[in-house]
Amino acid sequence: MEVSARNSLKGTIKKIHPGAVNSEVTLEIVPGVEVTAIITKESVEHLQLQEGKQAIAVIKASDVIIATE
Amino acid sequence: MEVSARNSLKGTIKKIHPGAVNSEVTLEIVPGVEVTAIITKESVEHLQLQEGKQAIAVIKASDVIIATE
Amino acid sequence: MEVSARNSLKGTIKKIHPGAVNSEVTLEIVPGVEVTAIITKESVEHLQLQEGKQAIAVIKASDVIIATE
Amino acid sequence: MEVSARNSLKGTIKKIHPGAVNSEVTLEIVPGVEVTAIITKESVEHLQLQEGKQAIAVIKASDVIIATE
Amino acid sequence: MEVSARNSLKGTIKKIHPGAVNSEVTLEIVPGVEVTAIITKESVEHLQLQEGKQAIAVIKASDVIIATE
Amino acid sequence: MEVSARNSLKGTIKKIHPGAVNSEVTLEIVPGVEVTAIITKESVEHLQLQEGKQAIAVIKASDVIIATE
């Protein structure tokens, strides 16, 4: 399956923090570059996500804010 | 200013593609890892974004989808 | 590829309306039920979207608002 | 009230799964076509949502990702 | 129609800036407090939005980022 | 830090409602005008948010829906 979201960042699952409805999943893209997602508990089970497994962070370009210091 | 968004990825602006209301801005986080944002033309001007400048991609954890192959 | 987004609605592309940076794509899920997406022009070309082709509308549960009349 | 969101899908509430802050609400649009939303517990109470009641899934076109197989 | 989005800010339309697919609409909530939306051109026409008219900015709580200085 | 999000509404934190993964934070922008955000529990701690403190609600223009009565 290919998606229209412009950002697909491949990485390794470093941490899964479960909650009542949602869970936090942190991917390491490359050493020092991490992306954290909040997805439903059901999705974690459905995708059989586990620490150490490969996964992709998919992000729509319209959901990215640009900041400058 | 600090933000509640869980993802702040620092990088260098590689490309700016302008449109009537929105513009596409691509950041290189590290070689081979890019993030594309769609922000308003007015924001590009307000933040004085230019290719080669440093910027940060700010993304809410709830806007990240996880995919597996 | 499987995605964590809870909503994946399969349908047929009925209309593509192009813009400078973004394009509007309308899918017919079943007769009388349509979903409209705004994606980048580049994604329309990359996914080779055409009217009459099959596609899937992927929507995060946290992006759905519930209304009552 | 009319909304600018391009997608308003009418359906029947099939399931409500409560959490600490958020709850999952699944609508059946037509047999075989469901949409799941995550909204706050407070909104479920405020809108007096119950299984079997009519409701509308409101989705911005910019929040829809298009995928192809 | 009532919506599950936690934020409904009533105001007066101050400015409409049209684009090819999207348009920018700015509401004045109270003097000195403005909210800008990007909605599709078709929605501006469908809702018959005009400067000086009353409208409501509807925002999901999960789409709000908190920042501190 | 400056952000590309078009909406930055300054206010005072009126209420923080914690959950397992997410927390609800309500800001008073001006008397009678409130904005509610859902952010992760970790962000509440990281930003040291407390009732009575100043904070900013940051909202992308593409995340705002316009409604008319």
Taking the CA atoms of F27, C61, B22 and B44 in sequence, report the sign of the dihedral they define.
Answer: positive
pLDDT of res. D29: 96
What does the pLDDT read at residue F1?
Answer: 82
C61 in reach of chain B (CB within 8 A): no
pLDDT digits (tens, 9 = 90+) for F23-41: 899 999 999 999 999 998 8
Low-confidence ranges of chain D (pLDDT < 50): none
Q: Hey, what are C50's tokens? A: 């055409």
pLDDT at B42: 86
F7 → chain B, closest CA residue: B43
- The token duo for C53 is 């082709």
pLDDT tens, position by position, F38-47: 998 889 999 9
% chain D with pLDDT above 90: 80
Q: Cα angle vertex A35, ends F53, F19, to 5°?
A: 45
Q: Which residues of chain A are under the pLDDT cut of 70?
A: none
What pLDDT, on the 0 to 100 scale, is given for residue F14? Answer: 98
B46: tokens are 């307000």
pLDDT, position E68 = 95
- Strand (E) or helix (H) holding A17: strand A7-18
Where would I find the beta strands (DSSP E) of D1-69?
2-3, 7-18, 22-30, 33-40, 54-59, 65-68
Helix boundaries (H) for C5-63:
41-46
Q: What's the whole-number mean pLDDT along residues B45-69?
A: 95
- pLDDT for res D66: 96
Confidence band, pLDDT 50/70/90 cuts, at residue B52: very high
Give the residue from A40, F32, B1, F60 showing the smallest Cα distance to E65: F60
Coil/strand/helix, residue D59: strand
User: Measured between CB atoms, does E61 come within 8 Å of chain B?
Assistant: no
Interface probe, candidates B3, B6, B26, chain F, greatest F C-beta count within 10 A? B3
Of the residues D66, D68, D69, the best mutation for testing chain C's interface (the one with the most C CB atoms within 10 Å of its CB) is: D66
Q: Which CATH fold topology does E7-58 show? A: OB fold (Dihydrolipoamide Acetyltransferase, E2P) (2.40.50)
What value of ipTM does the predicted structure carry?
0.86
Return the residue in E3, E41, E58 with the most chain D beta carbons within 10 A, the one to mutate for interface testing.
E3
| CA–CA gap between residue B2 and residue A62 (Å, rounded) | 21
**CB-CB neighbors (< 8 A) of F61 in chain B:** 40
CATH assignment of A7-61, among 2.50.20.10, 3.40.640.10, 2.40.50.100, 3.90.45.10: 2.40.50.100
Residues of chain D positioned with their CB less than 8 A from the CB of F18: 21
pLDDT band at E52 (very low <50, low <70, confident <90, very high): very high
In the structure, what pLDDT confidence band is assigned to residue E42 with cuts at 50, 70 and 90?
Answer: confident
CB contact under 8 A, B65 and C60: yes
Residue E20 has pLDDT above 80, yes or no: no
- Average per-residue pLDDT for chain C: 93
pLDDT (average), residues E13-28? 90
Neighbours of A, requiring at least 3 CB pairs below 8 Å, are B, C, D, F
- Residues forming a β-bridge with F10: F56
The domain defined by B7-62 folds into OB fold (Dihydrolipoamide Acetyltransferase, E2P) (2.40.50)
pLDDT for the residue C20: 72
- For residue D21, give both structure tokens: 């802050």
| Three-class SS state of A63 | helix
- In the predicted model, what is the mean pLDDT of residues C37-64? 94
Write down the pLDDT at residue A30: 95
Q: How far is CA E16 from CA D4, E24, E26, E52, in A?
A: 14, 6, 7, 10
Q: Give contacts of F18 with chain B, Cβ < 8 Å.
A: none
- What's the average model confidence in pLDDT over C7-20? 93
Q: The tokens 């930055």 sit on which residue?
A: F8
Q: Min CA distance, E52 vs chain C (Å)?
A: 27
- Establish if E18 touches chain F: CB-CB under 8 angstroms: no
In angstroms, how far is CA F66 from the centroid of its own chain?
A: 19
Distance from the Cα of C66 to chain B's closest Cα (Å) equals: 18
Alpha carbons A62 and B9: distance in angstroms, whole number: 16
The least confident of A12-26, B3-17, B48-62, F55-69 is: A12-26
Determine the average pLDDT of the residues in B63-67: 95
Q: Test B66 with C40 for CB contact under 8 angstroms.
A: no
The span from the CA of B60 to the CA of B5, in Å, is 5
